[in-house]
Structure 1
Amino acid sequence: MKQDLQLREQLVKLMRGGQAFSPMEHILKGITVENAGKQTNQLPYTLWQLIEHLRIAQWDILEFSRNPEHKSPKWPDEYWPKETAPADKNALDKSIKAIYADLDAIVKLVENPANDLFEPFTHGDGQNLLREAMLVAEHTAYHLGQIVILRRLIGDWE
């Protein structure tokens, strides 16, 4: 039981970040609508596209983990927005808030000892909650790193 609790605590720390890289809150803080849509020759996407992709993918993982009836978006078209910029500040804020809310929901799934981390879901191809939590952590870390790089390239990072 002690090891199960330790594993859950470590998974939460891994998903929330801040151990090997800046926490998500720091990386996403202060992004403006103008900067969210800026394009650079060095990368094929904008901050907005990265933020929206992060939101969509994380939401999909969450729903897959808690809803056997969930249908994932079509890959890759429905995981990446076509728009290069948010419509307005409300759209940007809404997307970032959804990322935080869905992360909190995934954390709650992992923290709940009634949820077996190792039991394969009744749906899918053998995935379990442990695998999905690690997928969230890996995917988030990867794209947060891209966000930092892009913010540096457009002059929006300290």
Structure 2
Amino acid sequence: MDMQKQIVKSLKDLLLQGNAHVTLTDAIKHLPADMRGVVPDNMPYSIWQLVEHIRITQWDILEFSRNPHYKEMNWPHDYWPKETAPRDEAHWKKSLDKIKEELHDFIALLEKPEAALFEPFAHGDGQHLFREAVLIADHTAYHTGEIVTLRRMLKCWP
């Protein structure tokens, strides 16, 4: 296996598996619907807000990585949902489906034969595809850990 394929395989594993962390799928498994929007005392957000933040940020990184005409979002306003809970089950499911779909869209960028993993984007400030893949993995793992913490605080961790 050539070096590019080995690196892409390692990045895919990092993006799709928990490795040393709980996966987002496992962190939200069996989460009672009525707990999605609860903001525990002394905490700034709910599990829903964390899930949506993961989705929004992942989309932004994907868009930055594939669109040379990318328009920067306003931090932090555009990255955090205002509502503390999903409107309904369909809203919750749509967010989770988009996370999965757009993660696979990002992986498709990595898997392109012409993917230049370490070549800086023309529109970036030295960022490249490898860096953005690690950023998605790190960001998701960090906030997934927060979801686990909130579940423990809410006494709804299996």
Equivalent residue for 1:81? Answer: 81
Asked if structure 2 preserves the Cα contact closer than 8 Å seen for 1:50 and 1:143, the reply is: yes
Residue 94 of structure 1: aligned partner: 94
- What is the Cα deviation at residue 151 of structure 1? 1.1
65-74 or 93-102, which deviates more: 65-74
Specify the alignment match of 2:59 in structure 1.
59
60-69 vs 112-121, which moves further: 112-121
Partner of 1:106 in structure 2? 106
Q: Is the 8 A contact 1:39 1:45 kept in 2?
A: yes
| Number of equivalent positions | 158
Identity percentage over the alignment? 47
Q: Could you state the TM-score of these two structures normalised by the residue count of structure 2?
A: 0.94
- Alpha-carbon distance between aligned partners in 2 of 1:70 and 1:39, rounded to the nearest angstrom: 33
- The answer to which of 49-58 and 34-43 deviates more is 34-43
Per mean C-alpha deviation after superposition, the further-off stretch among 34-43 and 54-63 is: 34-43
8 Å CA contact 1:117–1:128 kept in 2: the answer is: yes
**Which structure 1 segments of 5+ residues have no match?**
none
Which amino acid counterpart does residue 44 of structure 2 have in structure 1? P
* Residue 7 of structure 2 is aligned to residue 7 of structure 1: yes
Q: What's the C-alpha RMSD, in Å, of the aligned pairs?
A: 1.3
What is the Cα deviation at residue 73 of structure 1? Answer: 2.0
1:71-92 per-residue CA deviation (whole Å, 9 max, x = no partner) reads 1321001100111111111111
CA distance in 2, matches of 1:66, 1:31: 33
Question: In 2, distance between residues paired with 1:150 and 1:105?
Answer: 29
Cα deviation for residue 107 of structure 1 reads 1.1
CA distance in 2, matches of 1:157, 1:3: 40
Residue type of the partner of 2:60?
D
Partner Cα distance (2:75, 2:23) in 1: 28
AA aligned to 2:139 is H
Query: Gaps (5+ residues) in structure 2?
Result: none
Equivalent in the alignment of 2:132: 132
Matching of residue 71 in structure 1 with residue 74 in structure 2? no
Q: Distance in 2 between matches of 1:117 and 1:41?
A: 43
Alignment of 1:135-146 (within 5 A): 135-146=135-146
User: Given that residues 119 and 128 in structure 1 are in contact (C-alpha distance below 8 angstroms), is that contact kept between their aligned partners in structure 2?
Assistant: yes
| 2:117/2:130 contact within 8 Å kept | yes
TM-score by length of 1: 0.94
User: d(CA) in 2 for partners of 1:22 and 1:53?
Assistant: 17
